[in-house]
Structure 1
Amino acid sequence: MKPLHQRLHLYTEGDDTYIFVPADEGIETQSLTVHRSSGDIVLNRPNTPLPIYAKRSQRTIYGIVGLIALSLSEYIIVITSRELKGRLMGHEIYRATDFDILPLSPNVSARNPLHPVESHLLALVRSHLRGGHFLFAYGWDITRRLQAQWETQEQAAHKALWEMADDRFFWNRFLQTRLIDATSANAKQDLAKFILPIMYGTFDLRPVFLHGRHMQLCLVSRRSRFRAGTRYFRRGIDREGHVANFNETEQLLLVEGPALPGAQRISDDMFATKLSFVQIRGSVPLFWAEVNTLRYKPDLQIMELKETAETMKKHLLEQVTIYGDQYLVNLVNHKGHEGPVKEAYERYINELNLPNVRYEYFDFHNECKHMRWDRISVLIDILKDDLEKAGYFRLDASQPQPLKMQNGIVRTNCMDNLDRTNVVQAALAKHTLTIQLRDLGILPANAGIDDYEGFSKDFREMWANHADLISTAYAGSGALKSDFTRTNKRTRMGLLEDGVKSVLRYIKNNYFDGVRQDAFDLMTGNWVPRKNPAASLFLVTDARPLITRSIPVIASFSLFMICAGLTLPRTSDYSLLYYFLLWFSLLAITLAFMVIHGIDYVAWPRLIPPTDIIYYTGPGFRSGHHGKGLKDNFGLAKRARWLGTPRGRVGADHMELGDMKKRVD
């Protein structure tokens, strides 16, 4: 695989150019020039001298994330700080920890932009970079599982890293479009050494020792860039067959060979055996959503579109093509709020009746009630034959071909694909890891990893940390039920922590996730701004009616007056009674107004607002019509205008969020 530049020096020539000069040893030096006025990207000839007046930046560049065009200028995003996460088979894996944003337009400052729209868009970019967990490697394709890398090793030997990267997990693919297009358009201008694929996910690598064998246990999760977003603003499937919160999780076990007397370690990849077990998770592949209304339980909306079956089939067949047989494990409740999702999912699965897809329902909450979390073993017993059939990937250094291939995969989901999914995936991973260690002869036939506390503790911590990071990226807080993952026990303290996390999720999902969703849509290319900030003024203005905007202010002032009244002297009980009656009444009226008109107070995404889902009137299921006013249709058009102008009628044949087509404003 073609090597990448690991360090770059940045030079600026006045306001004319940015020049990236490789600082690597052993790689023929070809600097990269970006002309700020025209935006042209030029790969210079080897050892081209720097301009006389070029000035070097004090900060080292560890990679170019890509270029993004906003309303006033195009910007280059670069990595200025990195953290070493571990060495995997001789390759260093890094997390990007700090970034810089370089404007191309000489008249634009990234720190003090000239227009509030540009300032808002830059804030979205910074928040996304600051809040994400971005991983990369210079010589290892972190976006692909071990088995996929082995299957394409001959092809990869002559390809660039970005050419082999899994398109689903190549997070900055949209940002790298300019560099990739420049390479494709000119065969003499190969920018491959500057194109760094970045993955949004998790990585944990730990050395372990068991029965005299040195090993490494590694856990990697890869988040898909398709239909990416936050918990309530990205649910279900789009018409391309991509589902929300899709993650591939790979557990690697690397085992060194028996140590020989006097043997010396000659490389970082001295593992005699490499084993990989992969699982996936993703939203229920239906057109569905949960509509925030400020209530703790949002309104559940299932859209029965004519293309639902075909789109679900497209999604499942894609997974079969990539991973082999699909074993679908559904953990949603069979009754109550979640029941309609289960019913619709099973109905379409039965209708499709795909030969390589097996569906299994597990009533998680009923089976594990009263903190009986050991009942997860019931599901393991049900899936035991399927897990054996699917297998795992095993590669031995002494053999030219793998001893085992993973021919199928378990796809687990609950409502959010977070908490219950994490518990079940960790249990499946533990079961498979035990089988792998027994197959290697490291564990006896009647032993499990829980019998070895040090090894078990590392395993549990890895899966709990992995669960927290995935949950934070999607829902805004760490995973629930993580006490069981960490300790193998469900505790009352864990229940209390889950309560705190649930409150935190509620606050973030209702009041902060709109901005986070906008950042996802901007950075992944789902929304592209026009070169005119005036066309995007809706991003920085509040178009809600005056009465709607004033109600929270009145409620806050009423609460202040109530608190102030507690300090007033008691000159007359009647005067205080009327005083508190006035302000408590006003507070109650304003709070009731906010509950009745709840959708007006949710922080919705502004780039691609889900108007067509909120006001969907086609066939399907809706658990309630809360937050829309005293009457469902009262003021509908008025509210739809401030939330986002619908393009066409709102109904079964038009659904913006399901389409997820690139939008330009």
Structure 2
Amino acid sequence: MEGENDVYDDMNLYITQENFIVEPNGQDELLVIGRLDKVTRVQPKTSQLINQRPTRRICGILGTIHLLSCDYLLVATHRIFVGVLNNAIVWRLAGYDIIPYIPNAIQRSENSSFLKMLRQTLDTKFYYFSYRYDLTQSLQRQHENKVPKVMPGLLQRSDERFVWNRYVLEQFKCNNMQRFQLPIMQGFVSINQVQINGQTFFWSIVSRRSVERAGTRLFCRGSNDLGQVANFVETEQIVEFNGQRTSFVQTRGSIPFQWQQLPTLRYSPKPRLTPGKDYLAACTAHFNAQLKYYGKVVAINLINQKGVEGELEATFARLVRELNNPAVRYEAFDFHHECRKMRWNRLNILIDRLAYEQDSFGFFHAFDNGTLVSSQQGVFRTNCIDCLDRTNVVQSMLARRSLTAVLQKLGVLHIGQMVENASTSFETIFKGVWADNADLVSLQYSGTGALKTDFTRTGKRTKAGALNDGKNSLVRYYLNNFADGRRQDGIDLFLGNYIVNDSENIIQATPLETPRGWRYYMFPSVLLIAVAMFFATMTYPSEFNTENLLFMLFWGAMIAVSATGILHYGVEFVQWPQLFPVTSFHSA
């Protein structure tokens, strides 16, 4: 039964000269969006639609955004069923449309660039939503925030950290359109009906990517001055069984102080501390927020403790000591050193170290009628350098250990029985879902699937998995250096970090036309000519003589000089974000 605070789902969109009119099926009210005056209002349905035929069916209002030529309406047009969570259907966004308020507005070239950015961001896999269930809040937060009588709309009661279209929804500036505002979450959702020991239950994973300091892998690292970190993800494991629900939450996020690893065309640019910053203040602000949301925190740091990552590890350890907060514990584990030569069984050393805290943190457990059995008292906050590959491996192992405790408490597992030994079919599902979670979170941040997922999927490291990791690493290299600048711009545009100014390229310069230096054109041109001439001289000599050898040596030297120049001035060849200067990129 539809509740009075649910968001409308199936709707008809009418497009007239003056208005967009949205008609929810079976309802007696309309949403009218002025195309000329830009005024949005909800009004009773009377005779407005007589003799009108709907332009199209839609399944949600995503927001509105102002670009250079005019405003644009964002609507969800297609959806894919994911599953049922907490008695509510969860959907995945499968199609959208961007409709101009003024169809014949003068199109400026920069506007098409903004539209491409917007589409690239909305094309990112995957966005999820529900018309009834708040996907942005964990079960425990929903229980703690429960209001007995009057509930606000779905957008209004959501966790603003995880609503990706909050900015574009709030641009309507209409106070009574809650049932038309469809919040979407980026991340990963998997809902599975499974069976162990003859008992059937639902096991789900929900990963929520934060909009705070959102960005791409090398352009968005560490923390800003407010303590908000890059690639912050909250992952919740949910079990629903026999009128009971349990939840176990973990988080991941970049190392929480100001550091950078900007692309330079080198395969692995060196991470560096951002000079002139108050690292302790940022770290303190970050952990204060974590303590507020999750209780006690164990910060698991999986980066290398020597080499280029060593300075970051030492700084993190020092800052946690200086915090001097008994509710925050630091646990360093050099993943690559400990597990070298594919000795991944050594990860159990880390899990054993964390066993006491995991048992004391517990998990959220409540009955459907609201009766609370237990709450989760703390959280494991895991990071590696990217918070992707190593992080996901450790999170899946902590989740497995928690799931064993949950299923024993619910009576699904016998006392002493481990979940990995209880059901071969469920073990396959468990590994596959956690590997899919790794791939999706990695795709959203780095542009490729995760590394090391062969271990997550099979329980062991394989040579085929290592080869696939090599391929993904090369793709990451290309994307991070030559494609992520525009992708970062699209994220900032969609989230409202950058506001389009109508005077761009008229009164003031547009940021989309950042001039390139002479090296950007000269070195690649010389390289291409030199490569072509070298192979031409080597392949088609009328006769091989000293003159041909000198030509080959000359063009070979030109190849070396131009390639060295490109690497030396690598930062000039990277595709940088254009909406924010790189020197101050997300620094505050």
Instruction: Give the TM-score normalised by the residue count of structure 2.
Output: 0.96
Secondary structure of 1:297's aligned partner: coil
Letter in 2 for 1:133: F
The answer (yes or no) to whether the contact 2:365–2:373 under 8 Å persists in 1 is yes
Q: Is the counterpart of residue 343 in structure 1 residue 314 in structure 2?
A: yes
Inter-partner Cα distance in structure 1 for 2:487 and 2:575: 10
Q: Which of 139, 162, 171 is 1:146 aligned to? A: 139
The 5 Å alignment of 1:577-596 reads 577-596=549-568
Matched residues, percent identical? Answer: 35
How far is the alpha carbon of 1:116 from its aligned partner?
Answer: 1.1
Structure 1 SS opposite 2:238: strand
Question: Which of 222, 226, 246 is residue 275 of structure 1 equivalent to?
Answer: 246
Query: Conserved in 2, the CA contact under 8 Å of 1:171 and 1:225?
Result: yes
Structure 2 Cα separation of the partners of residues 283 and 400 of structure 1: 35
**Letter of the structure 1 residue corresponding to residue 111 of structure 2:** E
1:163 aligns with 2:156: yes
Question: 2:389 aligned with 1:419, yes or no?
Answer: yes
Aligned to 2:483: 512
What is the Cα deviation at residue 90 of structure 1? 2.3
Distance (whole Å) between structure 2 residues aligned to residue 458 and residue 315 of structure 1: 34
Q: Residue 38 of structure 2: SS of its match in structure 1? A: coil
Alignment gaps of 5+ in structure 2: none
- Is residue 324–residue 407 contact of structure 1 (8 Å, CA) maintained in 2? yes
| 8 Å CA contact 2:67, 2:500 repeated in 1 | yes
Out of 18, 22, 30, the position equivalent to 2:20 is: 18
Give the C-alpha shift of residue 432 in structure 1. 0.6
Taking structure 1 as reference, are residues 333 and 323 closer, same or farther at Cα in structure 2, changes over 3 Å only? Answer: same
SS of equivalent to 2:9:
coil
Query: What is the Cα deviation at residue 51 of structure 1?
Result: 6.2
Q: Is the 8 A contact 1:156 1:164 kept in 2?
A: no
Q: Please, which of 77, 82, 98 is the counterpart of residue 79 of structure 2?
A: 82
Paired residues of 2:227 and 2:257 also in contact (CA < 8 A) = no
SS at match of 2:563: helix
Q: Which residue of structure 2 aligns with residue 429 of structure 1? A: 399
In 2: Cα distance, 1:371 partner to 1:489 partner: 8
Aligned match of 1:93: 90
Equivalence map 1:220-619=2 (5 Å): 220-256=206-242, 272-305=243-276, 307-397=278-368, 400-451=370-421, 452-534=423-505, 538-541=510-513, 543-612=515-584
Contact 2:92 2:129 in 1 (8 A): yes
Q: Deviations over 1:441-482 (max 9, x none)?
A: 322333222212111110000100000000011111111110
CA shift for structure 1 position 322: 0.9
Q: For residue 298 of structure 1, give the secondary structure of its aligned residue in structure 2.
A: coil
**3-state DSSP of counterpart to 1:527:** coil
**Aligned-partner residue type, residue 152 of structure 1:** N
- SS of the residue aligned with 1:128? helix
Q: Which shows bigger deviation, 210-219 or 567-576?
A: 567-576
1:229 counterpart letter in structure 2 = G
1:104 lines up with 2:104 in the alignment: no
Which residue does 1:207 correspond to in 2?
A: 193
User: 8 Å contact 1:274–1:395 — kept in the other structure?
Assistant: yes
Contact 2:14–2:54 (Cα < 8 Å) also in 1: yes
Residue pair 1:510, 1:602 contacting (<8 A) in 2 also: yes
How far off its partner does 1:366 sit? 1.8
Match of 1:65 in 2: 62
Letter matched to residue 154 of structure 2: L
Instruction: State the distance in 1 between where 2:179 and 2:262 align.
Output: 45
Matched AA of 1:500 = K
Write the letter of the residue equivalent to 2:492.
D
The alignment partner of 2:305 has SS state of: coil
How much does 1:275 deviate? 1.1
| Partners of 1:565 and 1:18 in 2: CA distance | 65
Deviation, structure 1 residue 130: 1.0
| Cα displacement (A) at 1:545 | 2.3
TM superposition shift of 1:163: 1.1
Q: Tell me the secondary structure at the aligned position of residue 76 of structure 1.
A: strand
- What is the rounded CA distance, in whole Å, between the counterparts of 1:313 and 1:486 in structure 2? 36
1:135 aligns with 2:128: yes
Distance 1:518 1:585, change over 3 A: same
Matches within 5 A, 1:21-40: 21-23=23-25, 25=26, 28-40=27-39
Residue identity opposite 1:7 in structure 2: D
| TM-superposed deviation, 1:572 | 3.3
Structure 2 equivalent of residue 56 of structure 1: 54
* Whole-Å separation in 1 of the counterparts to 2:519 and 2:349: 55
1 CA distance for matches of 2:333 and 2:518?
A: 49
Contact 1:118 1:533 in 2 (8 A): no
- The residue matched to 2:202 in structure 1 has which SS? strand
Number of residues of Structure 1 aligned to a counterpart in Structure 2: 583
Note if contact 2:125-2:440 (Cα within 8 Å) is conserved in structure 1. Answer: no
- Mapped to 2, the partners of 1:239 and 1:414 lie a distance apart of 21
- Unpaired segments of 5 or more residues in structure 1? 184-189, 257-271, 613-655, 660-665
* Structure 1 runs, 4 residues or longer, greater than 6 Å off: none
- Cα deviation, 1:328-381, whole Å, max 9, x if unaligned, reads 111111100100001111111111111311111112122211111111111111
Structure 2 letter corresponding to 1:496: L
Deviation at 1:581, TM superposition (A): 2.1
Q: CA deviation at 1:208?
A: 0.7
Q: CA RMSD, aligned part only? A: 1.8
What is the one-letter code of the residue matched to 1:589? V
- Cα deviation, 1:392-411, whole Å, max 9, x if unaligned, reads 011134x7522111011110
AA partner of residue 313 (structure 2) = K
Inter-CA distance 297–547: structure 2 relative to 1 (3 Å threshold) = closer
CA distance in 1, matches of 2:554, 2:372: 78
Alignment partners' CA distance in 2, 1:473 and 1:279: 19
**Superposition deviation, residue 596 in structure 1:** 1.0
Match of 1:623 in 2: none
**2:116 alignment counterpart:** 123
Deviation of residue 566 (structure 1)? 4.5
Superposed displacement of residue 539, structure 1: 4.5
Alpha carbons 2:214, 2:220 under 8 Å: kept: yes
- Alpha-carbon distance change, 155 to 524 in structure 1, aligned in 2, over 3 angstroms: farther
Tell me how far apart the structure 2 counterparts of residues 493 and 39 of structure 1 sit (CA, whole Å). 56
What SS does the corresponding residue of 1:166 show, helix, strand or coil? coil
| SS of residue matched to 1:366 | helix
Residue 341 of structure 2 aligns to a residue whose secondary structure is coil
Deviations 1:494-516 (A, max 9, x none): 11111111111111111111011
Task: Name which of structure 1's ranges 432-441 and 411-420 shifts more when overlaid on structure 2.
Answer: 432-441
- Determine if contact 1:68/1:76 at 8 Å carries over to the other structure: yes
- Would the aligned equivalents of 2:517 and 2:572 in 1 still touch at CA under 8 Å? no
CA offset digits 1:136-183 (Å, max 9, x no partner): 00011111111111222335852211111001001111111123x321
- Distance across 1 between alignment mates of 2:149 and 2:460: 45
1:308-338 CA distance string (max 9 Å, x none): 2122111111111111111111111110010
